Amino acid sequence: MEKTRLSQLSDAGNGHILKDVFPGKYIYSGGLSFMQPNECSHGDEIRHVHDDHEAFIIFQGRGKLETDGGVYDISAGDVIIIAPGENHHLLSGNSEPLTVLWCHAR
């Protein structure tokens, strides 16, 4: 897991906005998630992993990111990169629920 801030990313110019922190020439899938207070992403899955990198851009709210490596505070403006094979779950805050853009690149 890597964490940075949107304000620390360089101008995209060519390619995608995450090119400095996210491997792949283009983003090929993704979506926008509006999480409810105290909601955990990926339902009741004990392990949630991918064969490629996944990026989360936190647009709104506060919460936690759980990985095999620990639990991390997350908030609006954070950019989180999950490595292939890394177990991960987002936990939305109670008073400030998360709105998250997620994507994969190749």
Identity of residue 60? Q
Q: What percent of the chain has pLDDT over 90?
A: 66
Count of domains forming the chain = 1
- Mean pLDDT of the residues in the chain: 91
Paired tokens of 69: 């490596």
pLDDT in tens, 42-87: 888 889 999 999 999 999 999 999 999 899 999 999 999 999 999 9
Burial of 92 (C-beta count, 10 Å sphere; 0-12/13-18/19+):
buried
pLDDT in tens, 11-48: 767 778 888 888 888 888 999 999 999 999 988 888 99
Q: Which domain does 9 fall in, by range?
A: 2-105
Cβ–Cβ contacts within 10 Å for residue 85, how many? 11
pLDDT at 94 over 80: yes
Reduced to 3 states (helix: H, G, I; strand: E, B; else coil), residue 63 is strand
What is the domain-level CATH number for residue 72? 2.60.120.10
Sign of CA dihedral 94, 72, 66, 60: positive
